[in-house]
Structure formats: structure tokens, C-alpha cells
Copies of this chain bind each other. A is one copy, B any other.
Amino acid sequence: MNEKTTAELEKLRGHIDNVDQQLLHLLRKRLDLVAQVGAVKHGAGLPIYAPQREAAMLAKRREEAANMDVSPQLIEDILRRLMRESYLNEKDVGFKQVKADLGPVVIVGGAGKLGGLFAQMLTLSGYEVRSLDKDDWQQADSIFEGAGLVIVTVPISITCDVILNQLNHLPDDCILADLTSIKSAPLDAMLTAHQGPVLGLHPMFGPDVGSLAKQVVVVCHGRGSEHYTWLLEQIKIWGARLVEAEADKHDKAMQLVQAMRHFSSFVYGLNLYREEADIDALLQFSSPIYRLELAMVGRLFAQSPELYADIIFAQQESMVAIGDYLDNYSQALSMLRQGDRQGFIDQFKQVAEWFGDFAPQFQRESRAMLQSVNDMKTN
């Protein structure tokens, strides 16, 4: 590189530094303004996530960007990232309390991560929260005293036992709810153990989300919904989207969505281990898509084996879904071993037809994801 080039580059980089300084100031200013919007909403008890308002704002910005010859997708991506940051900051303000006269909330399994997240959100909304974990049953009577809401979030394998044996003496007007990732059995247990309002919830996210904005919570109604409407409103104020479902339909979907999928990821990891795969080498040779897939498998093994055992063993019917996959895999492999290329292509086309418009939609979505993966590369 000659001196002239070096000097030109240095000069331009100085300009870029200046622009980036201004950018930082602007980001700080926007975060502050959105925090003020949050405070006003907080005072008025409005949900922090307003999908229509957000969509309208983004459409307007895209148009303005196009007029300035800036890619509409660029401004949308940057604003979405900024909105995430603002949602995270909401926590500092706290949330409007929907039900001011509620007795204490008891979180059974409060020492767990998900219990901790709900305890935090409820505390930020002005509720008195008490935790009850496995060593606290001796003090159960005093902890439950006057409780307005009891939330059960203990390992799936013991959920029904805890409900049936320990939660059958709650005050009649207390709401009993659970956060288990299956819904039929815990809901039945709660309806048996408790005569008051009963509600099944399944938060469709891990405890490490920074904010509940846009996250899904599945709602399975139990009994006396008029008594817990406020709780659903409260969850909406945290930014989550509620999806109502019948417990058995939810559980059937979870056999595919959770048990089968986690199991096949587990086997994929097991397979790499048994093949003595060289992860470093695999990463060297990885396209963004494979890197992402490897990360999705590897992340499993950074988490609790008990948690995954719980999810996989939770429903006997999951074995059927897991077994069906094995049968399909085995049949497709026979086809491969026979060298039946045309058979593979025909089946592929059948499945593609069945996916219909979802296939190109998923391709677009994943393309955006893969670009993000590539953005993150550091060498």
C-alpha cells in the first residue's frame, strides 16, 4: 500500500469515525425517547408491544429510506434491533400493575430459572412475590397464607405429584396456575387438587430471554376464567402474545415440536461424538447454514440433561412420534442404498408440494437468518 492510498484511507476513516460518533448520540437519544414513551404507556397501563403501530412505523421508514436511496431492509433491520433494545430497557421502568388488591404470589419452584423470570416480572409489576422451593415445604403454611396466585414451575416429572399432594389446601379464591411444557396432565391435576380458579400456561421461550416482548405464551383455560383475566392482561402488558389452545391439541403438537426434535438433535450430537468428528474441522468447512445447524445441536449440550430428559419422557405418546421418524428414516435410507435417485426426487417433490407456500416463505426467512450468521463472523 503506498503513502497516498494510506493517507486517503486514513482521511476517510476519520470521517467514518465522526459519523459513528453522531450515530451513537442518535441511538442514545432514540432509546431515551422510547423510554419516555414506555413511561407514558406504563402510566396508562398500555402494553409495551403494539404490533400495528410498529408495522405502520416500519412501513413509513421503509418508504422514506427508498426515497433516499437507502435499502428499506437496512433501516427495518436496524430499527428492529433498536426496538429489541428498548424492550429490554422497559424492565428498568417496571410495568403497570393490573390487579392492585391481589394477595401475595407464591412461585412453587421459585429457585428455578423460569420461576425466577416470572418472579422478576411480577415484582416489577408491583406484586408481592414469595418463592417456595424444595427445601421450604416445612414453612409452606406461612408462605401460602393469604396467597392470591400460586404458580407451579417444578420439573415435569414431579409436577402432578406436587400439585395433587401439596397444593390441595389453597384458599378457595386463590388462582392456581402452572408453567409446565405439557398441559393436559397438570391441568387435570390442578382441577382435582383445587376448587378455585385454575389456569395452564406454557411460556414458549427459555428463561434467558431478555424481554417477554413478542414471546408466545400458550393459555389453556381450566376453571373460573373471569377470576384470572387480569393475569392474562398483565402478561400482555409485559409484551407477550397469548395463544389459546386446548390442552390435548397443544400436547400433541409438543410431541413433534419438542420431544421429537430435541431427541433427534440429541442423537445428532451423539452421532458426532461416536464418529469422533473433529468439530474444529467441521466448522472450518461449514457454510453459514451448517454452522447454524451445528450451533442448534451444540446448544442442547450446554443445558441441563434432566430438563431434556423431562421433556422427552413427559408424554408416552412422544415415543410414537419418535418411532415414526425412525421408520421414515429407515425407509428413505433403503431407497438410497438401492440407488433409487428418482424415488428420492419424487418423494422430495411430494413433500415440497405439501409444504406449498411455506417452503419459499421459510427460504426467505432463513436467508435473512443466514445473512445475520455471516455478519457475526470474526475471521
The yes or no answer to A249 lying at the interface (CB within 8 A) is yes
Contact B329 A329 (CB under 8 A): yes
- Given A74-B82, A325-B267, check contact A65 B299 (CB 8 Å): no
CB-defined contacts of A189 to chain B, threshold 8 Å: none
A270-B347 contact in complex given A282-B257, A371-B84, C-beta closer than 8 Å: yes
Q: Does A114 contact B (CB under 8 A)?
A: no
Instruction: Establish whether residues A69 and B22, one from each chain, have CB atoms under 8 Å apart when the complex forms.
Output: no
- Interchain CA distance A344-B12 in the complex, whole Å: 58
One of A128-136, A158-166, A170-178, A212-220 contacting the partner: A212-220
Q: How far is the CA of A68 from the CA of B29 in the complex (A)?
A: 11
Q: Scan residues 352-373 of chain A and give those whose CB is less than 8 A from a CB of chain B.
A: 352, 354-355, 358-363, 365-369, 371-373
User: A332 and B267 in contact (CB under 8 A), knowing A261-B293, A285-B254?
Assistant: yes
Contacts of A68 in B (CB 8 A): 24-25, 28
Complex Cα gap A228–B94 (Å): 63
The B-contacting residues of A in range 269-323, CB under 8 angstroms, are: 269-275, 277, 279, 281-282, 284-290, 292-303, 305-306, 308-309, 312-313, 319, 321-323
A292 to B16 alpha-carbon distance, docked (Å): 35
Complex Cα gap A69–B25 (Å)? 10
A298 touches which one: B61, B208, B355 (CB < 8 A)?
B355
Does the CB pair B371–A376 fall under 8 Å? no
Residues of A in contact (CB 8 Å), total 159
Is the C-beta of A77 less than 8 angstroms from some C-beta in chain B? yes
Q: Tell whether A204 is near chain B: CB-to-CB under 8 Å.
A: yes
Q: A34-B16, A298-B358, A309-B341 in contact; A24/B254 too (CB < 8 A)?
A: no
- Contacting residues, chain B, for A258 (C-beta < 8 A): 290
Q: Bound state CA distance, A135 and B65, in angstroms? A: 44
Find the B residue at minimum CB distance from A265: B293
> Which of chain A's residues 6-46 have a Cβ closer than 8 Å to chain B?
8-9, 12-13, 15-16, 19-31, 33-34, 36-37, 40-41, 43-44, 46
How far apart are the CA atoms of A256 and B345 in the complex, in Å? 21
Contacts A83-B375, A250-B285, A264-B264 known; 16 new A-B pairs at CB < 8 A:
A15-B33, A19-B29, A20-B64, A20-B79, A23-B75, A23-B78, A24-B65, A215-B374, A218-B285, A267-B325, A275-B321, A292-B369, A294-B362, A295-B369, A302-B355, A302-B362
